[in-house]
Structure 1
Amino acid sequence: MTDTRTDVRSTALVIGASRTLGLGLAAELLCRGWDVIGTVRGERRTGLHDLADASGGRLTVESLEMTEPDQIAALRDRLTTAGRTLDLLFVNAAITRGDLPIGDVPTDMFTEVMVTNALGPMRVVEVLGPLVAPAGTIGVMSSDQGSLTLNTDGGQDLYRASKSALNQLMRCYAARHTADGRTLILMDPGWVRTELGGPEADLSVEESVPGVAGTIEQHRGEPGLHFVDHQGQVVPW
C-alpha cells in the first residue's frame, strides 16, 4: 500500500472491522496514510487479518466482543500499556432481525438489537474515548433510518429505534463534554449492499467507504457533534 499523505501518520481504532464496511474503512484509512488498529470478534481468521499481513505492520488486529464490558476494559488496558494514543475512534456495529412491527418483536430480540446497536457502541465510546487525543475524533456508524425527520414511510421499527437511541445517546455524551475539543460524528454510510443492507441497496462498500473516510477527515478539528452522511451532507435529526 502507498501512503497518500505526507504528514506524520495518525492512528485509528476501528471497532468491528472484520468485514464489509468496517473492513473497507480500515483499508481506506490505510491507503490515506493512517495507522490502524482493527477489532474482530473471537479468534477466527478474517479479511482483516489478511489486510494486516499486507500492511507492513501498519495494521494490527485486536479481539473484542463489544457487548462484553470486561472485554472493552481489557482492550483499553492493552492499548494503554502499549502507549497507544488514538486520533480516531470509530465504532462500526449494527444488526437487524427482520422487519417486524414493534408489537411483534420478542423481548429478547429487542434487547439484543438495542444492546448491539446502541448500548454497546456507547460503552466503547465511554471507556475508550479517553484514549483519543484532545483534538481527535470519535465516530459511530449511524444511519438515516435513525432520523425522526426522515421517517415518513415507517418499517424496520426496531432497527430504526436502535439507531435513534444511538443518536440520542451520542447527543447526551456531547452535552456532557461541551468543553471537549474532540470531534464527534454520527455517520450515515448510505444504503450499502451488505448483509444488513441487502442486495438491492444503492451502494457497494467500495462506493460508500471513501466518502465515509473523506467526511471523517473533513471534520477533523471541528469540535462538537455532527450527524452527516458519506457525501458530507448534514442528516436531519
Structure 2
Amino acid sequence: MSKSKNIFITGCNRPNGIGFGLVKQMLDRYNPEHLFATCRNPADAKELNELAANYGNLHVIELDTVDTEKFGDVVSQVDKVTGGEGINLLINNAAILEQPQSSIHQLNKDLFMKHLEVNTVAPILLTKAFLPLLEKAAANSNSPSGIQKAAIVNISTKVASIADNTGGGMYLYRSSKTALNMATKCLSLELKNKGIVTLMLHPGWVQTDLGGPNGTLTTEQSVTEMTTVIEKLGADDNGKFFNYDGQEIPW
C-alpha cells in the first residue's frame, strides 16, 4: 500500500479491542504517513502510548466522541499534522453495548438515548466534521476510489440486520447500530460524487470487552480479515454492509 495514506480511527485504547487491533494492523500493512488513534484518556492508554513510542507516524489523540464541541479542534490538529493533505480513511469504531440481554421491561429512556448518542449520533457528526479533510484527500488523489483516495468505514454489527434478527433482545445496541446503518447509507449516496466510498463493516463476534470471552474470533483474526476487506474497497462497495470476511450482510 502507498505510504501516503492518512488514517483516523476512534476507540483505540483497549489492548484487546478492535480499534487497537486495527491500529497495529494498519501500521504494519499500510505504513501510513500518519495514523491518528483516539481514546478518551490518553494517560491511561499504556499499550497505545507504548506503540506510539515505537512508531513515529502514530499520533494518540484525546477524544470523547460524544463531546462534539471538541471536534473542530481535533480536525484542526489533524489538518496541521497532515500538512493539508486530508484524511484518506476514517474508521468510526468507538461504541458501547449495555444490557445485552434486555427485554422491553428493562428499557429506560436515559440508557436508550446514551446508546443512540454514542453509537449513532457521534460517528455521523464526527464524519461531518472530517468531511473537509476527506474531500481534500479525494481531490488530491489520482486513484479511482477506495482508501488510496477517500473512504469512511463505520463499524457496525450483524445484529443490526433486521432481516437477520430472529432472536430479539439487545434493543439498545441493535437499534442504535441499525440507525447507524441507515445514516451511513445516506452518507454513501450523498458523498459518492465526491469520490468518497462509505460503508458498514461487521467485525464478527470478537473476544473483546464488548463482545465477551465467548466470541468466536480473536481480535487479531477479526482485524486481519477486516483490513483485507478495507484495502480492496472500490466504488462498487459504496453503501454496502459487509461481514468481516467480505460477505455482504442483508439489511
CA–CA distance in structure 2, aligned partners of residues 73 and 107 of structure 1: 29
Equivalent position of 1:180 in the other structure: 194
**2:11 maps to 1:13:** no
Sequence identity (%): 29
Shift of 1:126: 1.0
Shift of 1:87: 1.2
CA–CA distance in structure 2, aligned partners of residues 171 and 185 of structure 1: 7
CA–CA distance in structure 1, aligned partners of residues 188 and 234 of structure 2: 16
Shift of 1:114: 0.8
Equivalent position of 2:53 in the other structure: 53
Deviations 1:152-175 (A, max 9, x none): 111211110011010011112223
Shift of 1:221: 5.3
CA–CA distance in structure 2, aligned partners of residues 226 and 153 of structure 1: 24
Contact preservation (8 Å) 2:42, 2:60: no
**Structure 1 pair 62/222, CA: closer, same or farther in 2 (3 Å)?**
farther
Deviations 1:77-109 (A, max 9, x none): 212233252110101011111121234211110
Equivalent position of 2:26 in the other structure: 29
CA RMSD of aligned residues (A): 1.6
Contact preservation (8 Å) 1:100, 1:157: yes
Query: Which ranges of structure 1 fall in alignment gaps of 5 or more residues?
Result: none
Query: Which ranges of structure 2 fall in alignment gaps of 5 or more residues?
Result: 139-148
**Structure 1 pair 107/183, CA: closer, same or farther in 2 (3 Å)?**
same
**Structure 1 pair 162/13, CA: closer, same or farther in 2 (3 Å)?**
same
Deviations 1:104-156 (A, max 9, x none): 21111011111011111111111113212213111111000111111011121
Contact preservation (8 Å) 2:65, 2:126: yes
Equivalent position of 1:199 in the other structure: 213
Contact preservation (8 Å) 2:229, 2:245: yes
CA–CA distance in structure 2, aligned partners of residues 220 and 211 of structure 1: 17
2:130 aligns with one of 110, 128, 131: 128
For 2:114, the aligned partner's letter is: E
The aligned runs of 1:62-81 (5 Å cut-off) are 62-81=61-80
The aligned runs of 1:149-188 (5 Å cut-off) are 149-188=163-202
CA–CA distance in structure 2, aligned partners of residues 102 and 175 of structure 1: 34
Query: Normalising by structure 2, what TM-score?
Result: 0.87
Q: Which has the higher strand share?
A: 1
**Structure 1 pair 203/137, CA: closer, same or farther in 2 (3 Å)?**
same
Q: Which has the higher helix share?
A: 2
SS in structure 2 of the partner of residue 113 of structure 1: helix
The aligned runs of 1:76-91 (5 Å cut-off) are 76-82=75-81, 83-84=83-84, 85-91=86-92
1:226 aligns with one of 227, 233, 240: 240
Contact preservation (8 Å) 2:199, 2:237: no
For 2:129, the aligned partner's letter is: V
Equivalent position of 1:109 in the other structure: 111
Shift of 1:195: 1.3
